[in-house]
Amino acid sequence: MDINADAGESFGRWQLGNDSALFAHITSVNLACGFHAGDPLTIQQSIALAKEQGVAVGAHPGFYDKVGFGRRIIQASAAEVYADVLYQIGALQAFLRVHDMRLHHVKAHGALHWYALANADICTAIAKATQNAGDDVPFVALAGTKMVDVAAETGVKVIREAFPERAYMADGSLAPRTLAGSSIHDPQEAAKRAVKMVTGEPLETLDGGTVTLQAETLCIHGDNPEAVTIAATMSDALNAAGITVKAF
Amino acid sequence: MDINADAGESFGRWQLGNDSALFAHITSVNLACGFHAGDPLTIQQSIALAKEQGVAVGAHPGFYDKVGFGRRIIQASAAEVYADVLYQIGALQAFLRVHDMRLHHVKAHGALHWYALANADICTAIAKATQNAGDDVPFVALAGTKMVDVAAETGVKVIREAFPERAYMADGSLAPRTLAGSSIHDPQEAAKRAVKMVTGEPLETLDGGTVTLQAETLCIHGDNPEAVTIAATMSDALNAAGITVKAF
Amino acid sequence: MDINADAGESFGRWQLGNDSALFAHITSVNLACGFHAGDPLTIQQSIALAKEQGVAVGAHPGFYDKVGFGRRIIQASAAEVYADVLYQIGALQAFLRVHDMRLHHVKAHGALHWYALANADICTAIAKATQNAGDDVPFVALAGTKMVDVAAETGVKVIREAFPERAYMADGSLAPRTLAGSSIHDPQEAAKRAVKMVTGEPLETLDGGTVTLQAETLCIHGDNPEAVTIAATMSDALNAAGITVKAF
Amino acid sequence: MDINADAGESFGRWQLGNDSALFAHITSVNLACGFHAGDPLTIQQSIALAKEQGVAVGAHPGFYDKVGFGRRIIQASAAEVYADVLYQIGALQAFLRVHDMRLHHVKAHGALHWYALANADICTAIAKATQNAGDDVPFVALAGTKMVDVAAETGVKVIREAFPERAYMADGSLAPRTLAGSSIHDPQEAAKRAVKMVTGEPLETLDGGTVTLQAETLCIHGDNPEAVTIAATMSDALNAAGITVKAF
């Protein structure tokens, strides 16, 4: 089982997150590629840090929107999204090659992820860019959604992801952040949910039902001040359940 | 002998140059990588066009300055230049791989080129980024300048370039554009100079001396309305002198 | 009756449109403010040209999206839209003051306009930014849509606009560009429609009905190669109908 | 005597500085205008905060270079600098008008300031943009340098500035940050220097001489973690010396 988090989200003079502390507790990282966050020097330094701490590096392409941090959908065409994602992946790969590392996965960031969830052609565009990046790089899709199938149709390898810190709805979607209880703040509770998400046990949902996921990677929020504690607690719980925590 | 020109310099809605007409008369192209010009979709389309017309594709990294078209020196550090160049090269390579093409060369654009001419550490930074791009990609340096030696010290393969449409000074530098006679507008004259630049015959300089170059690639200006005529005339003159025109 | 067109859409090295020829046939201009097109030097030059040719200058704020030319909706919040629009208006006003000119109107560009048509809070945000720009600057709204009323509720002065070169639907909306017949290419036909749009005569719509508009300004597309002919023909037709063509 | 500091340097998701704590101890602020830092929403919020805390607001235009935080000279032309600065000033003024505030001063940021120090035509361009902003807005120049005279020649009102936390050279320039002792970290020492800078007493310089300044505003570095202590200590020392601390 893999635990991933977003990183490399600083930009020039502006620092964000504590990547070094976080890297000690996760197995793979989604690295900002310079469109919504990050810049060439930050990418270089983040990859050096990930190598040093033994963390696998995935690409986290986003919308070209720094002031919005990639959190606003830009109604781009599928052709634009494909080219934007391939561009970002390629840029990251150049830095990985210098460190004799391979790209571990591709996962859409923020609003690009939401856009792909809502539009099959956008999901397909990102999956194809991932596939065209070569090396059989897997595409990360939200477990329990049609993203999994839409992406798989392109022939790309798909990895299913779940969010232990987020509440779900019975239809498998993440509970909107505007709902009370949409975020799980207790590390012990998040760790219990993590185990269920991996073993396929049903999870109670915010709308009073249950949902069953079968995740291959778990995402934690690196910009949460508690991220380090949550990652450590989750890792312990998974180990205790006999699940090895390592990059897929 | 290779004839190169800048291309892929459109940006979103804004078109620049007539790449398709130009590609018929040159053997390699310096493709804008999205920092000073170009964008992911433009890169994709330019590479498809280059493949169709049998033109080799090099990277043309520049300063991150679209409004200035990369023609203003930004006093960046060598570390910033290295990372910016590697980022741009990597982005381009991703699109080339999709077309089963290899990166043909790397050549700095505009003010980044001038900055490298004036600063050895900047030249070294660009040469190292080129070397780290892999595949033994050559770095294009201005023939007759110290760029050639500075770049070679990094171990990168160096290709010497000359400009048949530009007048030179006796010290091997290009005549400043502010001087009368700095540009050669007559295609026949440019073609004659092209042959001398390749065969190593002395060229008269604007300051009354001579200079001898030994170029492996000749650059023509794609944004010149006469570019197509110049390229064709030059190509004929080189062929007549027994020099085969093809990508190095 | 005012005839307006977009202008100042060049960006750095990239030229777009023929503003000088266009300005001879229109009475007011919607000037790009540097977010979707234009840049400070272009704004300065466009305003000097407008003053010279006696054309009134309005602001044409857009999304911060040059590569998309402001033609892709960015799902920004109303607070972001308000601040982005006020920023762009203020920048333009500084150049107008240097030429002793006043801001003539504010009109949202491209996708920002579509976003305002679909979302009352976005329309309100742009109207408030316009009102806060001072000098009783009017806000341009699409005649026959709820934009007119939504904007008016803020207290801003509203000017109704119609598009003689575009077909309409019976509900008052512009016919989607994907429909056959959505654009009127014949200058005589566009001119006839212009007169009806001003006098309030019913117009046949693409879906077989009619619509009655009461426009105070007519917009023509400056990037149409026929724009100069269309503007001249329209101007003549309005004059012939006894309607004076001048900035409102 | 005025004490100024840079502020409004956050950008989108990225926070920088503690403006609210800082504003309690200074009398005027140099607000980032969205080119090197800041964005429309940040400008709006910073101005609201400044009004609430009774701090005068100046514009702090910089190079269009967020990733470099405006700390790298871009070799722009004087015409480009003039237009870029006027654009930024105008944008800021629109937000000030909404709060019934007037622009207090204009001061170039970072590398734009260094560029103006080294090039008279750049200094003139910024001074003219300031003058054209209207309202008799003063231009802030480094006391003891030719910036003061060059700017004054345009007819703009000039305010001389000194840096109590920075060591000087005998020629009146700031000691390069690469020299040991170039920064004054002791608040008491900085406060003593502040008094001398205002009263015109000679200051010992890092190269063993003395320099006499006659400043009308003192700048402290807002991104220094000690900024609040330094501002308070300096304010007390000036008051003790019978100098009233308030915006000029």
- Residue B32: CATH number of its domain: 3.20.20.370
Residue with tokens 């983040």: A46
The tokens describing C64, both together, are: 């911060």
- pTM for this entry: 0.96
C94 and D41 within 8 Å at the Cβ level: the answer is no
pLDDT average, residue stretch B43-50: 98
pLDDT average, residue stretch B110-137: 97
Q: What percent of chain D has pLDDT over 90?
A: 88
> Is there a domain that residue A118 lies in?
yes
Q: What angle do CA A80, A81, A86 make, to 5 degrees?
A: 100
Reply yes or no on whether the pLDDT at B58 is more than 90. yes
> Is there a domain that residue D241 lies in?
no
pLDDT of residue A227: 81
pLDDT of residue D59: 98
Residue (of C76, C19, C79) closest to C51 by Cα position: C19
> Is there a domain that residue D131 lies in?
yes
pLDDT of residue B224: 74
* Residues A45-103 pLDDT 10s: 999 999 999 999 999 999 999 999 999 999 999 999 999 999 999 999 999 999 999 99
Enumerate residues 6+ apart whose C-beta is below 8 A from C192: C237
pLDDT bracket for residue D103 (50, 70, 90): very high
Reply yes or no on whether the pLDDT at D225 is more than 80. no
pLDDT of residue D25: 86
Reply yes or no on whether the pLDDT at C238 is more than 80. yes
Residue (of B192, C39, A177) closest to D83 by Cα position: C39
Of A64, A67, A73, the CB nearest to C67: A64
Q: What percent of chain A has pLDDT over 70?
A: 100
pLDDT bracket for residue C216 (50, 70, 90): very high
* Residues A132-172 pLDDT 10s: 999 899 999 999 999 999 999 999 999 999 999 999 999 88
Q: Give the distance from residue D112's alpha carbon to the nearest chain A alpha carbon, in angstroms.
A: 17
Note whether D72 contacts B: Cβ–Cβ < 8 A.
yes
pLDDT of residue C169: 93
* Residues C180-201 pLDDT 10s: 999 998 999 999 999 999 999 9
pLDDT average, residue stretch B92-104: 98
Residues of chain A contacting C73 with CB distance shorter than 8 Å: 73-75
> Is there a domain that residue B232 lies in?
no
pLDDT bracket for residue C139 (50, 70, 90): very high
Instruction: For residues A107 and A186, give the distance between their C-alpha atoms in angstroms, rounded to a whole number.
Output: 26
Reply yes or no on whether the pLDDT at A194 is more than 90. yes
Reply yes or no on whether the pLDDT at A242 is more than 90. yes
* Residues A204-236 pLDDT 10s: 999 999 999 999 999 998 777 778 888 899 999
Note whether A128 contacts D: Cβ–Cβ < 8 A.
no
pLDDT bracket for residue D227 (50, 70, 90): confident
pLDDT average, residue stretch B61-87: 98
Residues of chain B contacting A89 with CB distance shorter than 8 Å: 94
pLDDT of residue C210: 95
A86 and B93 within 8 Å at the Cβ level: the answer is no
How many domains does one find in chain C?
1
> Is there a domain that residue B57 lies in?
yes
Residues of chain D contacting C132 with CB distance shorter than 8 Å: 94, 97-98
Q: Give the distance from residue D178's alpha carbon to the nearest chain C alpha carbon, in angstroms.
A: 35
> Is there a domain that residue C207 lies in?
no
Interface subset of D 95-114, CB within 8 angstroms of C: 95, 97-98
Q: How far is CA C106 from the centre of its chain?
A: 8
pLDDT of residue C225: 75
pLDDT of residue D228: 83
The tokens describing D134, both together, are: 């209207």
Note whether C79 contacts D: Cβ–Cβ < 8 A.
yes
Q: What is the residue range of C121's domain?
A: 2-165+216-223
Reply yes or no on whether the pLDDT at B248 is more than 90. no
* Residues D10-51 pLDDT 10s: 999 999 988 998 898 899 999 999 999 999 999 999 999 999
Axis crossing angle, helix C187-199 with helix C227-240, rounded to the nearest 10: 50
The tokens describing A45, both together, are: 């330094």
Number of H helices, E strands in chain A: 8, 8
Of C88, C91, C132, the CB nearest to D98: C132
pLDDT of residue A224: 74
D67 and B67 within 8 Å at the Cβ level: the answer is no
> Is there a domain that residue A180 lies in?
no
> Is there a domain that residue D150 lies in?
yes
pLDDT average, residue stretch C105-127: 97
Instruction: For residues B241 and A66, give the distance between their C-alpha atoms in angstroms, rounded to a whole number.
Output: 54
